[in-house]
Amino acid sequence: MFQPKLKRSLEMRILSQMTVAISIALLTSSGIAQANLLAFYAFEGNANDTSGNGNHGVLNGPNPTPNGIQGGAYDFDGVNDYISFPININASMHPQLTMGAWVNTDTFAPIQTVLSHDNGAFDRSLVIDFRGSIDPTTWSAFRGVTGTGVHSSGKVPFPGVWYFLAVTYDQTLNNMTLYVNETAISTLTNFNSGFNILWAGGNPGFAEHFDGRMDNVFLFDEVLTSNELDHIRRGGANAILSFPNPEPSSIVLATLALVGLLAHGRRRRASDPQPSLCHQTTVF
């Protein structure tokens, strides 16, 4: 038989293991995002990746400017400026992807490229384009070999105004969503392979350079929700670098509290005075 102290120690160990197991199970089932930040470029005088992943960019012409949406930015001339990043955003590498930036164009003349790895099949890209819309020029994103290849937001880019742009791609569901500030527009999509590098400010297959300023470029290996992207839009660099920072669900907290109460109850019972084991004398 177990000795009392050994038995209590075993019970506490089991309770501790139950706490860990239940927490992991509930956090997994609660759907809390576990997206990884692939890269973040604050453009504070350089094109370094401040995510810690080492995906530093190579400058090809754009000039640094202190007039970003948040600190510094890069100013692209619309002729031949671009920044190259060693990131493979092909669907075969990242079936789910979110990428975006804050941009301020000097002209709404199409076609201009914000982010792209396109090699000719309307591969994953954020652009200013006139195709796919009844409007002359809109913020758009490429949708691969589906339909016209260009997915329009219907939002006209006004020069001199900062816009928050993002696009999410889900190759498994053949779905994409384009975000322009608070507006979200979804459509079907399907992709072949593009280049294994990413450009900011130009299209690596067709030039189509961007004319204006760009700041806080980010990429995640997951489809972020509209709420998560709105959090980034409002919080800027701090929100990007602190993501993900999920709050524990109420179910998890309640479960941990219950396990704690059970453990406390067992400790109290263990500390209660035990009945005497001395022999009683019976008087006849």
According to the 3-state scheme, what is the secondary structure of the chain?
Answer: CCCHHHHHHHHHHHHHHHHHHHHHHHHHHCCCCCCCEEEEECCCCCCCCCCCCCCCCEEECCEEECCCCCCCEEEEECCCCEEEECCCCCCCCCCEEEEEEEEEECCCCCCEEEEECCCCCCCCEEEEECCCCCCCCEEEEECECCCCCEEECCCCCCCCCCEEEEEEEECCCCEEEEEECCEEEEEECECCCCCCCEEECCECCCECCCEEEEEEEEEECCCCCHHHHHHHHHHHHHHHHCCCCCCCCHHHHHHHHHHHHHHHHHHHHHHCCCCCCCCCCCCC
Where does the pLDDT of residue 283 fall: very low under 50, low under 70, confident under 90, or very high at 90 and above?
very low
Distance (Å) of CA 77 to CA 119, 202, 212, 213: 22, 10, 7, 9
- Average of pLDDT values for 261-265? 53
Residue 45 confidence (pLDDT): 97
Is residue 265 one of the residues assigned to a domain?
no
Where does the pLDDT of residue 16 fall: very low under 50, low under 70, confident under 90, or very high at 90 and above?
low
Q: Over the stretch 128-145, which tens digit does the pLDDT of each residue have?
A: 999 877 667 999 999 998
Of the two residues 284 and 194, the one the predictor is more confident about is 194
In the predicted structure, residue 247 carries a pLDDT above the cut 50: no
Of the two residues 259 and 61, the one the predictor is more confident about is 61
Residue 55 confidence (pLDDT): 98
Q: Tell whether 75 and 191 lie within a shared domain.
A: yes
Neighbours of 192 (CB within 10 A): 14
Q: Tell whether 197 and 60 lie within a shared domain.
A: yes
Is residue 277 one of the residues assigned to a domain?
no
Is residue 102 one of the residues assigned to a domain?
yes
Averaged pLDDT score across all residues of the chain: 83
- Average of pLDDT values for 224-239? 96
Q: Tell whether 9 and 59 lie within a shared domain.
A: no
Q: Over the stretch 167-185, which tens digit does the pLDDT of each residue have?
A: 999 999 999 999 999 999 9
In the predicted structure, residue 14 carries a pLDDT above the cut 90: no
Q: Tell whether 24 and 92 lie within a shared domain.
A: no
Residue 136 confidence (pLDDT): 78
Is residue 259 one of the residues assigned to a domain?
no
Q: Over the stretch 28-74, which tens digit does the pLDDT of each residue have?
A: 443 444 569 999 999 999 999 999 999 999 999 999 999 999 999 99
Is residue 279 one of the residues assigned to a domain?
no
Q: Tell whether 225 and 136 lie within a shared domain.
A: yes
Q: Tell whether 24 and 48 lie within a shared domain.
A: no
In the predicted structure, residue 250 carries a pLDDT above the cut 50: no
Is residue 253 one of the residues assigned to a domain?
no
Which CATH number is 85's domain given? 2.60.120.200
Q: Tell whether 25 and 42 lie within a shared domain.
A: no
In the predicted structure, residue 148 carries a pLDDT above the cut 90: no
- Average of pLDDT values for 233-260? 66
Residue 252 confidence (pLDDT): 45
Q: Tell whether 97 and 164 lie within a shared domain.
A: yes
Q: Tell whether 155 and 55 lie within a shared domain.
A: yes
Q: Tell whether 7 and 52 lie within a shared domain.
A: no
Count of domains for the chain: 2
Is residue 276 one of the residues assigned to a domain?
no
Q: Over the stretch 185-230, which tens digit does the pLDDT of each residue have?
A: 999 998 989 999 999 999 999 999 999 999 999 999 999 999 999 9
Is residue 160 one of the residues assigned to a domain?
yes
Q: Tell whether 49 and 25 lie within a shared domain.
A: no
In the predicted structure, residue 119 carries a pLDDT above the cut 50: yes
Q: Which domain holds residue 82?
A: 37-241
Q: Tell whether 24 and 149 lie within a shared domain.
A: no
